[in-house]
Amino acid sequence: MSEPVRSRVVVHGHVQGVFFRDSVRKEAESRGVAGWVTNRSDGAVEAVFEGEPDAVAAMVSFCERDPGSADVASVDETSEDPEGLTGFEVR
d(CA 64, CA 37): 15
What is the count of structural domains for the chain? 1
d(CA 52, CA 39): 25
Q: Is the pLDDT of residue 2 over 90?
A: no
**pLDDT single digits (tens) 23-81:** 999 999 999 999 999 999 999 999 999 999 999 999 999 999 977 789 999 999 999 99
Which CATH number covers residue 16? 3.30.70.100
What are the residue numbers of the active site? 21, 39
Decide: 70 and 18 in contact? Cβ < 8 Å.
Answer: yes
Decide: 63 and 25 in contact? Cβ < 8 Å.
Answer: no
Domain range holding 56?
Answer: 5-90
**pLDDT single digits (tens) 3-30:** 999 999 999 999 999 999 999 999 999 9
d(CA 10, CA 76): 5
